[in-house]
């Protein structure tokens, strides 16, 4: 059973245990997140040059819109202030800065009424992040930058948390994806030709859960949760940020959600940075998660980390 736990008073250890068991946590108010939202809005509104970012899709040709995102998103991801804000958020929420590692934040845009759902604004089909080489102890932090509603958020399909689904994760290697696919994301307009892990059997999207955190809040969930982008019919572009977190002790112990159907290779863990000093996870901690990776791809991953 999946519970949605709002504003828990538990420790980080207790929160991680609940998330690994399939629960979803919603924190509704955070000064650190409010500061991050303000910073992020500033970057977004500058990029759209005076247009309302939630309705700019109605003023721009889709290729122009994609071009704005292709400049904005990498600039935001790699901005040093983005990392500083994430570190503050995690510390404020009780994470141990010496044991907690995070990936850079991803700026997501879900346009309304199928305006742009591919490439740089990909609308995710039902999936688990663990199909994309995320470790089973990965936790996802998701927060809205502008108000969201049930018709433009993320849906969870909790009946599949402990039930395997036929999927294409056996064809996915994170290092090959980085080498071959990410660079062409901005060109995937109209149809996305990249082979991404997705269900390969009929699944039931209902019952589903659609938490709606307020601006200044965040929802946290396991990377093993089956989730999808809700088809946006709100009339406004949904703009959100998500980032991923692992706890080193859980990585070393192999402690996380149960793996019911992920068969990908490689690992995202070379991307993570320690909260305290931005150091990466040691190579010997990551090595057990590289089982089955061809030597040439492993060399590529190590060289580019």
From CA 29, how far away is CA 70, in angstroms rounded? 31
Nearest to 189 by CA among 115, 112, 107, 106: 115
**DSSP 8-state assignment for residue 71:** H
Number of domains in the chain: 1
* Cα–Cα dist 160/220, whole Å: 18
Task: Report d(CA 54, CA 45) in Å as an integer.
Answer: 10
Inter-CA distances, 33 with 145, 158, 178, Å: 10, 27, 29
In order, the DSSP letters of 179-248 are HHTGGGGGG--SS--S----BSS-----S-B---PPTT-EEEEETTS-EEEPP--SSS-EEEEEEEEEEH
Structure tokens given for 29: 């108010």
Q: Which of 168, 105, 167, 165 is nearest to 140 (CA)?
A: 105
CATH of the domain at 39: 2.60.120
Structure tokens at 134: 């995320």
Domain, as residue range, for 271: 4-303
Task: Work out the number of other CB atoms within 10 angstroms of the CB of residue 240.
Answer: 20
Q: What is the pLDDT of residue 300?
A: 85
How high is the pLDDT of residue 192? 55
Task: Give the C-alpha separation, 58 to 70, whole Å.
Answer: 18
Cβ–Cβ < 8 Å for 123, 152: no
pLDDT, residue 188, reads 46
Q: Collect all residues with Cβ–Cβ distance below 8 Å to 212 and sequence separation of at least 6.
A: 148, 149, 150, 153
Global pTM reads 0.92
What pLDDT score was predicted for residue 124?
Answer: 63
Residues 6+ apart with CB under 8 A from 286: 267, 269, 270
**What is the full per-residue pLDDT of the chain (305 aa) written as tens digits?**
799 999 999 999 999 999 999 999 999 999 999 999 999 999 999 999 999 999 999 999 989 999 999 999 999 999 999 999 999 999 999 999 999 999 999 999 999 988 876 655 555 689 999 999 999 999 999 999 999 999 999 999 999 999 999 999 999 999 999 888 655 544 545 555 667 899 999 999 999 999 999 999 999 999 999 999 999 999 999 999 999 999 999 999 999 999 999 999 999 999 999 999 999 999 999 999 998 888 889 888 887 87
The angle at the Cα of 149, spanning 143 to 154, to the nearest 5 degrees, equals 55
């Amino acid at each position: 059973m999946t519970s949605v736990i709002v504003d828990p008073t538990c420790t980080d250890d207790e929160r991680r245990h609940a998330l690994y068991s399939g629960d979803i946590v919603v924190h509704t108010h955070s000064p650190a997140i409010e500061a991050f939202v303000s910073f992020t809005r500033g970057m977004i509104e500058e990029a759209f040059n005076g247009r309302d970012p939630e309705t700019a899709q109605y003023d721009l040709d889709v290729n122009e819109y994609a071009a704005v995102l292709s400049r904005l998103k990498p600039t935001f991801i790699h901005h040093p202030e983005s990392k500083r804000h994430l570190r503050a958020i995690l510390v404020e929420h009780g994470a141990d800065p010496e044991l907690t590692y995070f990936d850079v934040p991803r700026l997501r845009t879900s346009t309304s009424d199928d305006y742009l759902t591919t490439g740089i604004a990909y609308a995710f089909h039902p999936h688990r992040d663990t199909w994309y080489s995320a470790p089973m102890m990965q936790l996802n932090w998701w927060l809205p930058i502008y108000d969201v509603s049930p018709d433009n958020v993320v849906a969870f399909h909790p009946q599949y948390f402990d039930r395997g689904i036929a999927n294409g994760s056996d064809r996915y290697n994170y290092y090959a994806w980085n080498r071959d696919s990410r660079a062409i994301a901005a060109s995937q307009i109209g149809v996305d030709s990249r082979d991404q892990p997705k269900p390969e059997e009929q699944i039931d999207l209902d019952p589903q859960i659609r938490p709606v955190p307020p601006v200044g809040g965040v929802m946290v969930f396991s990377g093993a949760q089956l989730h999808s982008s809700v088809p946006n019919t709100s009339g406004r572009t949904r703009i959100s940020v998500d980032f991923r977190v692992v706890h080193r002790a859980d990585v070393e112990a192999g402690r996380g959600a149960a793996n019911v159907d992920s068969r990908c290779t490689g690992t995202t863990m070379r991307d993570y940075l320690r909260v305290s000093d931005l150091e990466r996870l040691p190579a010997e901690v990551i090595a057990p998660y590289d089982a089955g990776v061809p030597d040439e791809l492993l060399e590529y991953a190590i060289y580019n980390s």
